Amino acid sequence: MTLLRLIFEFFKTGLFSVGGGLATLPFLYEMSDKTHWFSHGDIADMIAISESTPGAIGINMATYAGFKTAGILGGICATLGLALPSLIIILIIARFLDHFSDNRHVQNAFYGLRPASIAMITAALVNVIKVALLDLNAYAASGNLMDLPRVIPIVMAVILFFAMKKLKWHPIVFLGISAVIGIILKL
């Protein structure tokens, strides 16, 4: 019974949260108030954990809440519940595109969607840059523009940029090297 409720609650979250991981947050707070499966503090912890593990906040929260409520099986059920609505919707859209991808209007829609998609990705990049390459707190404290850039990470980013152009290694290799550099330099 608990398992079914877990699936149902996270199914709803998956169905109504549009626009990526953080969009699940308001639903998670609501669920916390209603079910007491996890606390607001748990959500804050999970945001931190999600930043340092692969996987989106919504997925991670589902696994976490499911596990706390009903063990390993609960974790799995809640996560699948969250994933199910988007799975169904995407399948329907994919079917539609199979049939209509040559349609002039669909083609034209993508003519507009692709620049929007890149713009959105670029906006996401700005958000990562704010955390990784800039020190907004130091800048806010001192008001001095010189405190804004984090010098070492920026130098590292420039080196990485050219290294990636030269060496066609897998991104995982660069991610691993960057993690080690982060530990060594105490970034």
Partner 1 sequence: MKELLELYVAFLKIGAVNFGGGYAMLPLLEKDLVNKRGWTTMDDLADYFAIGQCTPGVIALNVSTFIGHKKKGIAGALAATIGFLTVPILLILVIAAFLTNFAEITVVQHAFAGIRVCVCVLILQAILRLWKKSIVDNITLILFLVIFFLAAAGSYVLPFKVPAAVLVIASGIFGVLFGKNGKSGEKGSGKEASR
For partner 1, the binding residues in 137-176 under the rule CB under 8 A are: 153, 156-157, 160-161, 164-165, 170-172, 174-175
Q: Quick check: 19 binds partner 1 (CB under 8 A)?
A: yes
Q: Which of 90, 136, 141, 151 binds partner 1 (CB under 8 A)?
A: 90
Q: Which of 89, 140, 141, 151 binds partner 1 (CB under 8 A)?
A: 89
Cα 117 to Cα 19, 94, 125, distances in angstroms: 12, 17, 12
Task: Closer to partner 1 by CB, 145 or 183: give it.
Answer: 183
Task: Closer to partner 1 by CB, 54 or 143: give it.
Answer: 54
Using only C-alpha atoms, the chain has a radius of gyration, in whole angstroms, of 21
Backbone angles phi and psi of 104, in degrees to 5? -60, -40
Q: Quick check: 186 binds partner 1 (CB under 8 A)?
A: yes
Nearest distance in Å: CB 151, partner 1: 12
Which window, 1-9, 12-20, 28-36, 137-145, contacts partner 1 (CB under 8 A)? Answer: 12-20
Site for partner 1 in 101-130 (CB under 8 A): 101-102, 104-105, 107-129
> Residue type at 15?
L
Number of C-beta neighbours around residue 35 at 10 A: 13
d(CA 59, CA 45): 14
Tokens at 166, concatenated: 């030269």
Number of C-beta neighbours around residue 158 at 10 A: 10
